Amino acid sequence: MRTVTLALALAWSAPAFAEPSSEPSSPPAEPASDRPAPSPPSLASPIAIDELLERIAHLEARDRDHARTERAVAATHKEVQTLLPLRRFITVFVDVGAFAVAGDGSGIRSDRDHVLYPEYVDRVPGEWVFMGDPLSTAINSNGEPASTSNSRELDTDTIHGTSGLIVNAIGLSIGKDVGHGVAIASLVEVLPRPGQNLLDVELAHVDYRPSDELDLVISAGKIDSVLGIEYRSQDALRRLGVTPSLLCRYTCGRPLGLEARLVQGRLSTSASITNGDNFEQRFTPAHALRANALPTVAGHVQWVLPVGQGDGQGVELGVSGALGPQDDQPMTSIAQWHVGLDVRVRNVRRWNVSAEYVQGLQQGFTSSPTAACNVAACLRYKAAYVLVDRPVKPWFVPYVRVDWRDALHEHGVEFVYESHTLRATLGMHLEMTSRIIGKLEYTFNRELGRIPAFPNDVITTSVVVATD
Amino acid sequence: MIVWSVVKVGLLGLVVSGCWSEPGLVDDAFTPAQWTRLQAELTVPALDACALSTGTWAQPRCDRLARLGQQLFFEPAFSRNGATACVTCHDPGRWFVDAREDNQVSRSVTEQSTLGWTRRNAISVVNVGLTATLAPKQQVFTWVGKYASSGEVLALALTAMGQPKVPASYASVAGVIRNSPSYAAQYADVFARSSGLASDEQVFQDVELAFEAYMRRLGSVDAPFDRYLAGDASAIDDRARRGFAVFVGRGTCIECHRGPAFTDLQFHSTGVPQVGHAPAVDPGRVEITDAPDDTGRFRTSSLRNIAETGPYMHDGALASLDDVIWFYRRGGGVAGYEGDKDPRLTPLELTDDDARDLEAFLRTLTGAEIDPSLRVDLRMPMACAGATCAP
């Protein structure tokens, strides 16, 4: 090594040695082709040995620097290789959109002076007799309405406007198999909102697969609901459209509890035992932890009919239900129950259809002869939707959804919500790339029964950009 | 083709924009149906000052009866101390409310015939005719609904003035009429009978009727708000209009202050703390009904002329409209009252602007001042009582 270094040093230093002698006796310029081959440096030149040794030492120092740099590069490369798998279990997405909602941005109006619901005179102030659906003007996948207006039960007005641009969510999704059949999953969303940014831990659970031969997963933590089918695609990344259906509030919750999912052939079953109901909790964050003495049990059974043999083809029929003590009430004996039916037709002649029907009751509790449900709110509801889509191109999917909700929610003199709403949503889903999805939809909101028509149609868009 | 496409887009735009605007809201607050309902509910009905509780009186005689009542309204001879009349607490110069001292509660006469304090604030007698028309023969008079006509209140007044309503009081009242040649003459003229021949109770009841006839004339219902309600949009300003929307809407005031008199004539507990010089507690309407649920309940006050008839609440605990609005913004009282507060009283989400708008609206409920001729003392000096001094 030292020899090579010495040779290189000599070669590099040769011109320097030649310069003093050649410069004064430089001949006139001649054609290059006629130039004689350069002669080797003359060892007879007067070179100071000390200078040569100094140059050798300098070169050796640079060689050490080079080696050191090579080691650093190798270490960095190794570190990068170690971190690269993160890309496979971390997904970051940003959901931005623009929206406009008719009227005052809310889906409710007060029955001022008890014009339409006189039965509530002397029971509930007319201002607090709400007609319509407070979530019918949802503008994003979170289901946030553009405005909650003067609503009293649903009073978290996160957007409070009728139109504008919005960052719907910044999401961080983590899913990682940690070995021995154990995996972790979480979804955290940041919702930048005027005045109050929200940090929402949507999912945080540990999954355990006890056997490779049995398709059984047991989960614990903040888990998905097991009711119906819409919860499976409720986040912006997965949702076909922009907004949830009117019944998602009852089935898309993510309660704390235990859950088991088992798939055996054409039969899928899932069951959960949770702190409280499976209602969407986004709008009642204070109640995320339920103080019920007994848990809520829920289950879903689904059967896949042998329709079609193509990729992803099939017809799925499901039934689900939940039973438990009503949340936020003084006695465990006050019950709530929920039943639902769901159907999904997948890729039959390129058509996809999803449909659900749910019905439920929260009994509530009354201690006053004049104010119904004054101790615990009463809720009875029925809701359904049908969602149809057919891909025109792999990247372009138009869709239509019709949903309906009929509900009565009352709580003493605090409020009554008379919700009788029919909606139709037209939309299109554009997968610009595998990481960029655009959606546009228009929702016609119509009130039924005694509720007069009022403007609350919604046009909203969403662009979701995600990492792999 | 392009033109047709543009037309179609334009039509679609028209359809969409039509669906997007709030259709025909009145003052940006009420649907046409709500406005129609409010007009029907709040418009003052035709009032007949001579439609008394005992029947409708013919005009000339009715006028003479009211004139007698006006004199008696100023007459202190009914009181035990001989110094207190109706006008003592119902000052004609102050919209017939008690405007003395610190106005916490009304002064009165104790059984010891010395000036003392009642535990309740004197209600203005302006528009009692409207109340009687809205709730004929119903026990809606006084804070606790003890009487069915404004004339019957004489009994309460006598009690407050130191005279219990017992036969002895009948004799006392009848004596005032009989002992005054002027009153006796007017009595005979109006009732076509001699007070000397009528029983004490009969004369007492006739005096009640005279009071009623007078007080029914103390009407003031042509307020700016009434003109606004009838269609004169310029009758009240924007702030008051917004205040009316708050009154009906977020303020939920109309839940109890409804109807042409802006009172449901019902009895509620709003948690008003008992203040003043009187006993520390006031059981309220339970005194009348003996129903425990009525403990602490008092009649909803009319809001007509409210800006002029403070202090407010049954004991005059609140001095200004601003105080009243703040009281309700907090959800009513929190301590110092009897019974259970109406559960509808919960803190209101009103802004300071809402409160100012609401007060502006309340000030539009002030009607024209009472005819001055109804606010003067028409009594004859006792010295010249008699035919020669007859008015």
Q: Taking CB atoms and an 8 Å cut-off, how many pairs form between chains A and B? A: 66
pLDDT at A6: 43
Residues B343, A455: C-beta atoms closer than 8 Å: no
Mean pLDDT of chain A: 87
| Closest chain A CA to residue B343 | A413
Contacts of B31 in chain A (CB under 8 A): 109, 115, 452, 454
Residues A112, B30: C-beta atoms closer than 8 Å: yes
Strands (E), B88-127: 107-109, 115-117
Query: How far apart, in whole angstroms, are the C-alpha atoms of residue A199 and residue A191?
Result: 6
Residues B37, A457: C-beta atoms closer than 8 Å: no
- Rounded to an integer, the average pLDDT of B183-198 is 95
Q: Which 3 state secondary structure label does DSSP give A68?
A: helix
- Superfamily of chain region B4-42+222-363: Cytochrome c-like domain (1.10.760.10)
| Closest chain B CA to residue A151 | B250
Kindly provide the b/e burial profile for residues A413-450, where b requires at least 16 CB atoms within 10 angstroms of the residue's own CB: bbbbbbbbbbbebebbbebeeeeebbbbbebebbbeee
Residues A113, B248: C-beta atoms closer than 8 Å: yes
pLDDT band at B168 (very low <50, low <70, confident <90, very high): low
pLDDT at A79: 83
pLDDT band at A4 (very low <50, low <70, confident <90, very high): very low
- Rounded to an integer, the average pLDDT of A23-49 is 52
Query: How far apart, in whole angstroms, are the C-alpha atoms of residue A237 and residue A437?
Result: 8
- Rounded to an integer, the average pLDDT of A105-132 is 95
Between A117-131, A307-321, A434-448, B160-174, the lowest mean confidence (pLDDT) is in B160-174
pLDDT at A56: 93
Contacts of A460 in chain B (CB under 8 A): none
Query: How far apart, in whole angstroms, are the C-alpha atoms of residue B225 and residue B44?
Result: 11
A27 pLDDT more than 50: no
Residues A127, B41: C-beta atoms closer than 8 Å: no
pLDDT digits over A53-72, tens only?
Answer: 999 999 999 999 999 999 99
| Closest chain A CA to residue B346 | A414
Query: Which of B23, B30, B255 is closest, CB to CB, to A125?
Result: B255
B298 pLDDT more than 50: yes
Contacts of B19 in chain A (CB under 8 A): 102, 455, 457
pLDDT digits over A314-356, tens only?
Answer: 899 999 999 999 987 778 889 999 999 999 999 988 999 999 9
Query: How far apart, in whole angstroms, are the C-alpha atoms of residue A319 and residue A333?
Result: 25
Residues B254, A455: C-beta atoms closer than 8 Å: no
- Rounded to an integer, the average pLDDT of B92-105 is 75
Tell whether B25 lies on the interface with A, counting CB pairs under 8 A. no
Kindly provide the b/e burial profile for residues B12-31, where b requires at least 16 CB atoms within 10 angstroms of the residue's own CB: eeeeeeebbeeeebbeebbb
Between A127-136, B25-34, B40-49, the lowest mean confidence (pLDDT) is in B25-34
- Rounded to an integer, the average pLDDT of A175-187 is 92
Three-class DSSP labels, B324-389: HHHHHHCCCCCCCCCCCCCCCCCCCCCCHHHHHHHHHHHHCCCCCCCCHHHCCCCCCCHHHCCHHH
Distance from the Cα of B33 to chain A's closest Cα (Å) equals: 7
Please report, for residues A188, A336, A377, A385, the alpha-carbon distance to residue A280 in angstroms, rounded to integers and kept in the order given.
16, 15, 17, 17
Query: How far apart, in whole angstroms, are the C-alpha atoms of residue A235 and residue A437?
Result: 13
- Rounded to an integer, the average pLDDT of B14-31 is 76
Residues A457, B16: C-beta atoms closer than 8 Å: yes
A18 pLDDT more than 60: no
Tell whether B199 lies on the interface with A, counting CB pairs under 8 A. no
B116 pLDDT more than 70: no
Query: How far apart, in whole angstroms, are the C-alpha atoms of residue A183 and residue A220?
Result: 11
Please check whether residue B214 is in contact with residue B92, taking contact to mean a CB–CB distance below 8 angstroms: no
- % of chain A exceeding 90 in pLDDT: 68
pLDDT at A37: 52
Nearest to residue B75, comparing CAs of B177, B202, B164, B153?
A: B177
Per DSSP bridges, beta strands A129-132 and A415-431 are parallel
Residues A371, B343: C-beta atoms closer than 8 Å: yes
Residue B211 main-chain phi, psi, to 5 deg: -60, -45
Query: Which of A113, A122, A125 is closest, CB to CB, to B34?
Result: A113
| Closest chain A CA to residue B342 | A413
pLDDT at A46: 60
> Residue B360, Cβ neighbours under 10 Å: how many?
21
Class of domain B51-139+146-219: mainly alpha
| Closest chain A CA to residue B21 | A103
Query: Which of A116, A126, A412 is closest, CB to CB, to B343?
Result: A412
Residues paired with residue A465 on neighbouring β-strands, in sequence order:
A94, A436
Query: Which of A104, A150, A413 is closest, CB to CB, to B343?
Result: A413
Contacts of B344 in chain A (CB under 8 A): 124-125, 413
Q: Which 3 state secondary structure label does DSSP give B129?
A: helix
pLDDT band at B159 (very low <50, low <70, confident <90, very high): low
Distance from the Cα of A364 to chain B's closest Cα (Å) equals: 18
Query: How far apart, in whole angstroms, are the C-alpha atoms of residue A148 and residue B253?
Result: 22
Please check whether residue A407 is in contact with residue A378, taking contact to mean a CB–CB distance below 8 angstroms: no
| Closest chain B CA to residue A455 | B20
pLDDT at A15: 44
A14 pLDDT more than 50: no
Strands (E), B88-240: 107-109, 115-117
Cα A283 to chain center, whole Å? 17
Residues B344, A413: C-beta atoms closer than 8 Å: yes
| Closest chain B CA to residue A457 | B20
Residue A85 CB contacts under 8 Å (≥ 6 apart), including other chains: none
pLDDT digits over A219-253, tens only?
Answer: 999 999 999 999 999 999 999 999 999 999 999 99
Query: How far apart, in whole angstroms, are the C-alpha atoms of residue A182 and residue A159?
Result: 39
Domain ranges for chain B, please list them: 4-42+222-363, 51-139+146-219
Residues A112, B249: C-beta atoms closer than 8 Å: yes
A200 pLDDT more than 80: yes
pLDDT at B120: 84
Q: Which 3 state secondary structure label does DSSP give A418?
A: strand
- Rounded to an integer, the average pLDDT of A132-154 is 94
Among B255, B265, B350, most A C-beta atoms within 10 A, so best to mutate, is B255
Contacts of B43 in chain A (CB under 8 A): none
DSSP single-letter state for residue B195 = T
pLDDT at B100: 72
Please check whether residue B253 is in contact with residue B243, taking contact to mean a CB–CB distance below 8 angstroms: no
| Closest chain B CA to residue A115 | B34
Residues B255, A126: C-beta atoms closer than 8 Å: yes
Please check whether residue B203 is in contact with residue B17, taking contact to mean a CB–CB distance below 8 angstroms: no
> To 10 degrees, what angle do helices B167-179 and B181-191 make?
100
Alpha-helical regions (H) of B230-338: 238-248, 286-289, 321-329
Domains B4-42+222-363 and B51-139+146-219 share a fold: yes
Tell whether B351 lies on the interface with A, counting CB pairs under 8 A. no
B6 pLDDT more than 70: no
A8 pLDDT more than 50: no
pLDDT digits over A432-464, tens only?
Answer: 998 999 999 999 999 999 999 999 999 999 999
B198 pLDDT more than 90: yes
Touching A: B residues 267-326, CB under 8 Å: none
Residues A125, B343: C-beta atoms closer than 8 Å: no
B157 pLDDT more than 70: no
A110 pLDDT more than 70: yes
A31 pLDDT more than 50: no
Between A328-337, B41-50, B164-173, B298-307, the lowest mean confidence (pLDDT) is in B164-173
- Rounded to an integer, the average pLDDT of A163-190 is 94
Query: How far apart, in whole angstroms, are the C-alpha atoms of residue A431 and residue B109?
Result: 87
Please check whether residue A219 is in contact with residue A207, taking contact to mean a CB–CB distance below 8 angstroms: yes
**Two structure tokens written together for B388:** 């020669």
- Rounded to an integer, the average pLDDT of B12-24 is 65
Full DSSP string of A112-151: GGGSS-GGGTTTS-GGGEEEE-TTTTB-STT--BS--TT-
Query: How far apart, in whole angstroms, are the C-alpha atoms of residue B114 and residue B120?
Result: 18
- Rounded to an integer, the average pLDDT of B199-205 is 92
B39 pLDDT more than 80: yes
Residues paired with residue B267 on neighbouring β-strands, in sequence order:
B299
pLDDT at A36: 52
pLDDT digits over B250-293, tens only?
Answer: 999 999 999 999 999 999 999 998 876 666 788 999 999 999 99
pLDDT at A306: 81
Between A408-412, A422-426, B313-317, B357-361, the lowest mean confidence (pLDDT) is in B313-317
Residues B20, A413: C-beta atoms closer than 8 Å: no
Nearest to residue A166, comparing CAs of A193, A184, A202, A135?
A: A193
Residues B250, A150: C-beta atoms closer than 8 Å: yes
